[in-house]
Structure 1
């Protein structure tokens, strides 16, 4: 345990029994956020969100069938695409949100969201094996955010920030870094893009990266979390790999690192939700809030669709 973590533990106001209860709640929350508890029902829940969309006043042709100037749009991926952390959840299995960036883009006059299978805890294998099949073959725009769960996002968050353990944290980061650098991971990102291009040949495939979760001061330090800079550095590497593979295979990559700059956890205006014991059962931690999803949507809108 680091000196900072040890000092915090020595002065923690809860007794051991209380801490055990909170730890149990924590693990349950992590299961919800990272998807350990979303296996069987996830398909039905995400499909329900995709179907039966109400008409939207002011959009050409209303909702449902879309208008002549609207581009058929599908949104795939993990919790960052589903909207975990943004609130206003449409269901409680995948935690898709009405404030997620796909729903914000759906409100634009030029796009009609007809498939929204993105789901908390999912990885590249789920996108390829399940989510791609929900995309209409006539889709013109597809967004996807995926890869974080492939490299062990949940384990890093738990061991480095929620129940910090220096040895376990270092191991989780090293394991994730090795996966990100592997040929197998590169192949999995390529498979996502290639599967989408085969499914909807006329679609513009837009792959987004991940924001740096933690604010750092001028010395590269986060005042609360000693492992923040290391995780930020590994996120940059992860994004670089995803970008390289996605663009090589014909997709457009949207890098949101600069968009979120100055708004990580620990900043004066965070767009990422921090972990709090009091919200242990709420799946929000270490994910963008509603403002963060608005930033995602703004970055994606900068991509020319024609």
Structure 2
């Protein structure tokens, strides 16, 4: 199993390498690429390894690290950190950005709306508890998150006035075409997917309001590899718990990295 998984990842990276280098070369036509990766655990790589580089759960399997290996930008600042909110990005992650920065990637917003608590409510509570938690998170996403994202995106632009900023969304967790999924019923699965769609819609709208920002969704790239599918690229409830509902190494390499490349 381990050899098969390693071989599959190697093959995926080999396939992507030409596209990565081509995309980077095209962007480097107007100058050398200076890259900064910001955001939360989906950018840091939480869930994609058995050991991590630091307390932020940064992983060598995370899409920013894979991009660095494949495209070899002139500089690479890996500042994404597990648990980060939009305000954490502003307060703790913008140090490396300056006028020379040409590329920034970011996933953020899930922790702002309490995604971790929503997932716990749906996994451990009944349907009513799950639906209430998702509804509350959607309300936060619609009413509070736009302002928080606007502040974060504005700060990124102020620190890196010349950068192309790629904003990546979150995946739907469940394949609702699968009739059965151990441990969680269809009501909860549908609610969580709806919540993810709401979160992504708010992020997409916020990114569109900032020139030089490109939103990239990842749902289509996870199709056939969601929870309940035979070969998921996401963790279900797992140990350590922080890995749960995060992309595996395959999800980082085969969904998030291609999404970043598509924006370049």
Structures share fold, TM-score greater than 0.5 = yes
Give, in angstroms, the shift of residue 87 of structure 1.
0.2
In the alignment, what sits opposite 1:177?
138
Q: Aligned partners of 2:262, 2:223: CA distance in 1, in Å?
A: 17
1:268 aligns with 2:226: no
In the alignment, what sits opposite 2:215?
253
Give, in angstroms, the shift of residue 284 of structure 1.
1.4
Structure with higher Rg: it is 1
The normalised TM-score by structure 1 is 0.71
1:232-279 deviations in Å (ceiling 9; x for gaps): 011111101100110111210011111111211110110001114xx3
What secondary structure, in the 3-state scheme, does the structure 2 residue paired with 1:181 have?
helix
Give, in angstroms, the shift of residue 69 of structure 1.
6.9
Contact kept in structure 2, 1:152 and 1:172, CA below 8 Å:
no
Structure 2 matches for 1:1-306, cutoff 5 A? 70-87=32-49, 89-109=51-71, 111-161=73-123, 163-182=124-143, 184-217=144-177, 222=181, 224-226=183-185, 227-250=188-211, 251-276=213-238, 279=239, 281=240, 283-294=242-253, 295-304=255-264
Give, in angstroms, the shift of residue 177 of structure 1.
0.7
Q: Aligned partners of 1:109, 1:119: CA distance in 2, in Å?
A: 22
Gaps of 5+ in 2: 1-20, 22-29
The normalised TM-score by structure 2 is 0.82
Contact kept in structure 2, 1:216 and 1:222, CA below 8 Å:
no
Contact kept in structure 2, 1:139 and 1:200, CA below 8 Å:
yes
Give, in angstroms, the shift of residue 225 of structure 1.
1.7
Give, in angstroms, the shift of residue 110 of structure 1.
5.1
Greater relative contact order, per chain length (Cα 8 Å cut-off, separation 6+): 2
Q: Aligned partners of 1:160, 1:130: CA distance in 2, in Å?
A: 31
Greater share of residues in helix: 2
Q: Aligned partners of 1:164, 1:134: CA distance in 2, in Å?
A: 42
| RMSD (Å) for aligned C-alpha atoms | 2.1
| Matched residues, number | 232
Gaps of 5+ in 1: 1-58, 60-67
Give, in angstroms, the shift of residue 218 of structure 1.
6.2
Q: Aligned partners of 1:256, 1:229: CA distance in 2, in Å?
A: 18
Q: Aligned partners of 1:78, 1:85: CA distance in 2, in Å?
A: 12
